[in-house]
Structure 1
């Protein structure tokens, strides 16, 4: 989709009940990104949002608002658009993200960003807020190609770490980033080396444990993919002094006897990952060694 593409979009969109009852958080500024495709579905706004105000160090989900933690992070989806994702996995993924978009927007007016593995680095979709936007994007992108997870993670993390380095004297001014990767296959490059490189940079900046998080969701049941992703989960922290930014979740389809990929399941996993990182910080502040295990 090019910047010049213009389409008529319905102005009336039904949002998630959760989104409708939540209290929106103040607008925030995202870190500098590489050249991207402007969101073709959002109205233009020439005024920049106010600068980011750092969150409290405790993120807790309450009974009334289990998704309040979303206000403290920028949420990015990295979607596997390889050929094997065509069909059920593609439909489940698009429906899950369409459900998540209004929930995230209720807590962060920036909405979500969506990247695809095989799209050019210049083609991403920023500040997506509504389900119909997600559906139109997925209708436009056609699965095909390999699974270059490491390459695309580098494209996302490089400008973000540049922002962190520019503000290293005040890291609280950089909003934490959470990347949700949805894939069904074995990576065709080396995401481990990419992640380790950025973990070391985060350590050098003395960034908090929750500054960057990456959750991998495996759709489908390819055993090689499950093994490769589990190695990322288990193998990176010991090589990087204990900083654990990766979580992996195998997700069986309905045919496999389990619930299909869905918004509630994804956000529960993300919340669990966030709280584990915050718990390590709390333990350290209490003067006891933080547990690095899961």
Structure 2
């Protein structure tokens, strides 16, 4: 498959961005066990900020005055860490000064998802024909689990897109998780899997905005929920986005793409793993930044996500410390 990727990539001569002209915890381990809501779904675990000792990776340290797998296992308990005020990026406010401050973790010591306040969260849902049935039910359960975490921490609301279902202004700036579920329940899977095309539609204008307003453009965290391999070219879209971010010397967390696999299609898992681990080789650039992370919804024995597994889903692509450990994600 990888050889096929390389062959496909080598045949491409177009760049989708070419025309743009230049985007812990001292608590006992028991506190990390996720609680169960009255609906039977996982609730966000309570713990202190796990990003307190993470080393934010930047292509050139100090290049912005303004604004990968560590010992942490995102599927088990968190080790003791000590606060370091230079970790996660700061909470964003449109009313702030024209520059974004260096990373900080001083906002909420008891909220391990506080990092999300610095991002605009975007969900991209695969609604192709293969998603009908079990995968569609798993997607709803996944959304019920993780969207409350995101909506509670994105002041201007989250956005949701589908691969095939028409876009709508009603799908933007959503501040209630129940609204996400309502939208989802009104969509019926059908069609192909044009993941690359849809990602490009999201990322391309964002990079154009970032290029023109780098100090005030909020980072984005894109969570893609899918069961299969794309039917189009997603590799070059991601590679070209990463290259442009490198050229613009953007912070390492400026754009993150998290692929969250539902279903158990082996070829899909292999492909998504390749997106996570093999893009540098495919691009022929060992220094290409890593903006992709992947995690399956269930383990090999149908185990559900642990607390840390949930954290990896929502933060793995923008905090490289979580992307360095792939064990114990399920229980």
* Residue 112 (structure 1) aligned with residue 162 (structure 2): no
Greater relative contact order (CA < 8 Å, ≥ 6 in sequence): 2
Alpha-carbon distance in structure 1 between the residues aligned to 2:242 and 2:295: 21
Alpha-carbon distance in structure 1 between the residues aligned to 2:312 and 2:189: 27
Alpha-carbon distance in structure 2 between the residues aligned to 1:61 and 1:230: 34
* Residue 206 (structure 1) aligned with residue 252 (structure 2): no
Question: Normalising by structure 1, what TM-score?
Answer: 0.70
* Residue 182 (structure 1) aligned with residue 203 (structure 2): no
Match of 2:53 in 1: none
Change (3 A) 1:278 1:87: closer
1:113: how far off?
Answer: 0.8
Change (3 A) 1:141 1:262: farther
* Residue 265 (structure 1) aligned with residue 309 (structure 2): yes
Change (3 A) 1:51 1:261: farther
Alpha-carbon distance in structure 1 between the residues aligned to 2:187 and 2:291: 29
SS of the residue corresponding to residue 319 of structure 2 reads helix
SS of the residue corresponding to residue 107 of structure 1 reads coil
Q: CA RMSD in A?
A: 3.6
The superposition leaves residues 60-105 of structure 1 with CA deviations (integer Å, 9 ceiling, x where unpaired) of: 9976211101101111011100112122322222233234333223
* Residue 274 (structure 1) aligned with residue 318 (structure 2): yes
Alpha-carbon distance in structure 2 between the residues aligned to 1:97 and 1:276: 23
Correspondence 1:8-27 to 2 at 5 A = none
Match of 1:45 in 2: none
Alpha-carbon distance in structure 2 between the residues aligned to 1:95 and 1:163: 33
The superposition leaves residues 185-219 of structure 1 with CA deviations (integer Å, 9 ceiling, x where unpaired) of: 11100100111111111111111111101111111
Among residues 219, 228, 237, which one is paired with 1:194 in the alignment? 237
* Residue 223 (structure 1) aligned with residue 266 (structure 2): yes
SS of the residue corresponding to residue 213 of structure 1 reads strand
Alpha-carbon distance in structure 2 between the residues aligned to 1:267 and 1:61: 18
8 A Cα contact 2:316 2:322, kept in partner: no
Question: Normalising by structure 2, what TM-score?
Answer: 0.62
* Residue 232 (structure 1) aligned with residue 307 (structure 2): no
Match of 2:137 in 1: 91
The superposition leaves residues 146-181 of structure 1 with CA deviations (integer Å, 9 ceiling, x where unpaired) of: 1111000001001101101112xxx23111111111
Alpha-carbon distance in structure 2 between the residues aligned to 1:203 and 1:273: 16
Match of 1:7 in 2: none
1:109: how far off?
Answer: 1.6
* Residue 73 (structure 1) aligned with residue 112 (structure 2): no
8 A Cα contact 2:221 2:318, kept in partner: no
8 A Cα contact 1:61 1:67, kept in partner: no
Alpha-carbon distance in structure 2 between the residues aligned to 1:73 and 1:85: 28
8 A Cα contact 2:159 2:173, kept in partner: yes
Match of 1:288 in 2: none
8 A Cα contact 1:151 1:191, kept in partner: yes
* Residue 159 (structure 1) aligned with residue 202 (structure 2): no
8 A Cα contact 1:149 1:189, kept in partner: yes
